[in-house]
Amino acid sequence: MSTMTTRLRGLRSPARPRGAVSPQSVSQRIVGVITTALLIILVAVPLLFVLLAAFRVEPPGIPSDYTLANFKDLFHSDEVRLFRNSLIIGVGTTVLGLAIGGTLAVLLLRSNILGGKRLDSLVMIPAYMSPFMGAIAWMILFAPDIGYGSAVLHKLGLPAFDVYSFTGIIIVMGIYYAPIAYLYIRSMLANIDPSLEESARVLGASAKGTLRRIVLPLAMPAILSAMLLVLVAALGQFGVPGVLGLRDGIDVIPTKIVQYATNYPSQPTKAAALGVELAIFALVVLWVNNLVLNRRDYATIATRGGRTGGARSKSRAIGPTILVWVYVFFAAILPILALLVTSFMPYMTTKLSSVQFSLDNYNYVLRVFPASVRAIKNSLLLALGAGVIATAMAMVLSHLRYRTTSKFRKPLDYLSSVSAAIPHSVIGLAFLWTWLLVPTVIPLPFPIYGTKWIILMLYVAMHIPYASRATNSAMLQVDKSFEEAGRVLGASWLVMIRRVSLPLLRPGLLTAVIIVFYHAVRELPASMLVVSPGNEVLATAIWSMYTEGQWVKLIALVNINLLLVFIAVWIMRRFGSPED
Amino acid sequence: MSAIRVNRLSKEFVGSAVALDEVSFDVAAGEFVSLLGPSGCGKTTMLRCIAGLELPDGGEIEVSGKVVYSTLGAKRILLPPEKRALSMVFQQYALWPHMNVFDNVAFGLTMRRASKSETEAKVRRALESVELWHVRDRKISALSGGQQQRIALARAIAFDPDVILFDEPLSNLDANLRESMRLQLIELQQELGFAALYVTHDQAEAMSLSDRILVLNGGCVEQAAAPQEIWNNPASSFVAQFVGSSNMYVGEVRANSGGTAVIALESGLDVVQQNCSAKVGDKVDVFIRFNDLAVTRERPGTDNVWEASIFLVSYEGHESVLKLRTAEGMELVAVVPSAAGFSRDERVFVSTAADGVRSFVTGESRTPPADAELPVESAAAP
């Protein structure tokens, strides 16, 4: 019958319309154009060249016809075996990694674990170690006859475990990819409003029932996403099958790519074709992942202004605590201990009482062996340089993305994230081809191929997605009104960036630099394809020492590499913004 | 010279209902003007366009006599925010957490390359005017919300701007603080004499602060007038609804002799209105403010009297809100002094004088803005 106007006093303040951002200034445009040009040279050009290379008849340097012949091996029994091996290892790793990572996430976030906060950091240690270093550690633990673990198994009368096998590769990769799945599922679980679970409990569901009916369905997109990401990463993994597989003839696509490209006589066109196949597969998987993510509405999971962090059970959980410690023991404590002990020994043996421990190996890699000395210097310089450059570019891109309505935002987004999907061996190959081919077309004022520049550019191109993720989340945490206030009060765009944005973003930028640093400083397959004598980096030096059989000495170098990673991560955790 | 002149400004958002549609208005030097409207009416967009934080689709903006944006002239003009000689107070304050209070307030002066002694003196004056000179060395995070609000104000006034934009600056404060900040703001504006354009959705705030209020609805100016005028003579159904709390009914004009009209309401009851411009037969929206209804136990002698029973009493201290229902089923809300002591289920008389009733022809809610006399052609494109 009658209506009544409501009292307006209590109305909430309106949200600012989305996508409303300031017009761009000239300096902003110039910086944007330079970054875009760099991104095209570093990412788009090499990917185009490797695609081109896959259809070439001749290696670089010789004028060539184009052919489909490089792809005909796809159905050849040799390559079918490769794909089968890759798939067995990829799927096995995904299943194991997800099982471990998912269990860890649920245990750490939903049960009342003793020392919860500290355990959360310990669980991340394997992620910083890298699968390659993990494989080396597990090799000295479980190599038949000479591994410490094998000796223990033998003493206990248990059946021997051969790490040089599919099982060995899958276990090592599962353990070292578990943190990826853990991080993904953890952040999803942490964002679920506890009231969603509390209400299920109040309405009569048990803790297990709540997990099954509420938590798992909500976490499903994250689980699926983690699954696909681990699969793609595992398919591109070179180091683990390289260390644990090649000895017994278990080869996978990335190891074959490297062999094609580096073994005499090299077959770079075949490598390119194989690389293109792998890259296409990876891109398709990640495209499916995006479809999955876009279908679900994440916004509904966290209630507005609500609490996050999920509902923890109140009673102390002894069982889960032990389970998490078992993982930490096998993934971090035991391997690191084995690496440490072995690095002080003159030769590998399980009879610890009979050897003389010394610092000889460290002396050798730090002072005597020129290649390892150079590698340490080069890796530090290149990884740090790549960190700074990638972060600077990522910051410009994040700024474009969140603070402007530029129509180039979408393509730039793709371009800056695509290299995360491309297996490292393929990116390395792409750089190899590009900088061999470019000088035949345009004379360069200075050489790129065979210098440190190609490694630096490679590291920037490979890791810009990591830097972007860090700068994006930093940019989102700094409200744009801080920058707007600077402009309105009289600062030009450049002055505003220097006086307002940079200081506010500093922790996020530091995190970005370090994430790139610790990834680059341990990178192996791509580096292998572009290093040259005199320009070795840590991982390639470790690999050469491995192929030369300098066992205990290479372990000293692995430990130095690990130490660099851990120092960087410590700095990030102490001074940077949280990594996610 | 106007402090701000906005001429036929348009701005559309893709995928949003908010759109400014050729809005024109000006703010005189030293004048305090509020943009009042519900969320999504375009008021914040308007403010951000003037500040240079958003790009309009077309029109012209002048700040202190200088064209800062124009698509109307032969040459397209777009000045960046820092070249617009204005200042702004943000809704979330936007105080930089990496600078202390002093450096925040000094920012505008630093950007204008003021000397050290001048900066010191002006920052001091600004901080003293909000009584916060003593916290100058503190970190922003160490301040309360009210203090941050005042620092944001000090930062905006420190470099003596002629024009200051306010984007709902008091909306994050609790009610008591808001009240006292309002008074402080008026005092400051009168003392310093800057022109202010103030965006708010709070009618009480707009009323108490402004020399003039622009009521915005759906990207258009519904009414531009002094607060008293807006309150006493709302120009449209929308303004009547938005300003003050009213009972709203739908009816039809039955008779109108010299402005005194009889309107038949849907409930079947009649209501008499003075100064009614609607014609006989017009469908109208009828508004009666809660405060304009008198509730008595004896039958009063005014124009509109209805018998009703009270079915809800909500005590609010000095006043009480009553909900009443007539035998015909018409519901009314009235705000009465609590001292009258009405209780539930009491049968009473509800009444209002004929000048307490307002009506607007249904569907004709939009009236031309009062300051539409702007010389629009002045800078028109060839």
The pLDDT of residue A303: 44
- Residue in A with minimal Cα distance to B324: A2
Task: Give me the domains of chain A, ranges plus CATH numbers.
Answer: 71-349 (1.10.3720.10), 364-580 (1.10.3720.10)
Check B94 against A479: CB less than 8 A apart.
yes
Is B38's Cβ below 8 Å from some Cβ in A?
Answer: yes
Q: Per-residue pLDDT tens, chain B, 382 aa: give them.
A: 799 999 999 998 766 666 888 999 999 999 999 999 988 888 999 999 999 998 899 999 999 999 999 999 888 899 999 999 999 999 988 999 999 999 999 999 999 999 999 999 999 999 999 999 999 999 999 999 899 999 999 999 999 999 999 999 998 888 888 888 999 999 999 999 999 999 999 999 999 999 999 999 988 899 999 999 999 999 999 999 888 889 999 999 999 988 899 999 988 889 999 888 888 999 999 999 999 999 999 999 888 999 999 999 999 999 999 999 999 999 999 999 999 889 999 999 999 998 889 999 987 654 434 333 333 333 333 3
Q: What is the DSSP letter of B158?
A: T
**How many contacts, defined by CB atoms under 8 Å, are there between A and B?**
148
Cα distances (Å, whole numbers) of residue A509 to A474, A516, A545, B177? 8, 11, 35, 38
Nearest-by-Cβ selection for B267 from A2, A15, A495: A2
Give the closest-approach CA distance of A307 to chain B in angstroms.
Answer: 20
Check A9 against B204: CB less than 8 A apart.
yes
CB A186, CB A105: distance < 8 Å: yes
CA distance B339 to B322: 13
Stretch 340-379 of chain B: residues touching chain A, C-beta under 8 Å? none
Q: What residues of A are in contact with residue B16 (Cβ under 8 Å)?
A: 17-18
The packing angle between helices A268-295 and A253-262, to 10°, is 150
Is B249's Cβ below 8 Å from some Cβ in A?
Answer: yes
CB A174, CB A209: distance < 8 Å: no
Where chain A has pLDDT below 70, the residues are 1-23, 74, 295-316, 579-580
Q: What residues of A are in contact with residue B52 (Cβ under 8 Å)?
A: 22-23, 487-488
Nearest-by-Cβ selection for B333 from A4, A13, A22: A4
CB B3, CB B63: distance < 8 Å: yes
Q: What residues of A are in contact with residue B171 (Cβ under 8 Å)?
A: 13
Check B155 against A491: CB less than 8 A apart.
no
CA distance B65 to B55: 20
Structure tokens at B179: 């009240």
Q: What residues of A are in contact with residue B198 (Cβ under 8 Å)?
A: none
The pLDDT of residue A315: 64
| Strand B283-289 to B246-257 pairing | antiparallel
CA distance A16 to B252: 39
CB B161, CB B194: distance < 8 Å: yes
Check A503 against B98: CB less than 8 A apart.
yes
CA distance B163 to A451: 58
Check A25 against B80: CB less than 8 A apart.
yes
CA distance B89 to B170: 10
Is B245's Cβ below 8 Å from some Cβ in A?
Answer: yes
Nearest-by-Cβ selection for A2 from B107, B201, B331: B331
Check A484 against B242: CB less than 8 A apart.
no
Q: Give phi and psi for B41, each to the nearest 5.
A: -90, -10
Q: What residues of A are in contact with residue B238 (Cβ under 8 Å)?
A: none
Check B247 against A2: CB less than 8 A apart.
yes
Stretch 41-70 of chain B: residues touching chain A, C-beta under 8 Å? 44-45, 48, 51-55
Structure tokens at A329: 């023991």
Give the closest-approach CA distance of A25 to chain B in angstroms.
Answer: 7
Is B133's Cβ below 8 Å from some Cβ in A?
Answer: no
ipTM of the shown complex? 0.81
- Residue in B with minimal Cα distance to A479: B94
Q: Mutation target for A interface from B36, B47, B49, B53: give the one with most A CBs within 10 A.
A: B53
The pLDDT of residue A168: 95
The pLDDT of residue A308: 52
pLDDT digits (tens, 9 = 90+) for A119-140: 888 899 999 998 999 999 999 9
Is B168's Cβ below 8 Å from some Cβ in A?
Answer: yes
Give the closest-approach CA distance of B373 to chain A in angstroms.
Answer: 30
Check B171 against A13: CB less than 8 A apart.
yes
Residue B336 is inside which H or E element, if any? strand B331-337
**Torsion (CA) A274, A280, A284, A287 in degrees, nearest 10:** 140
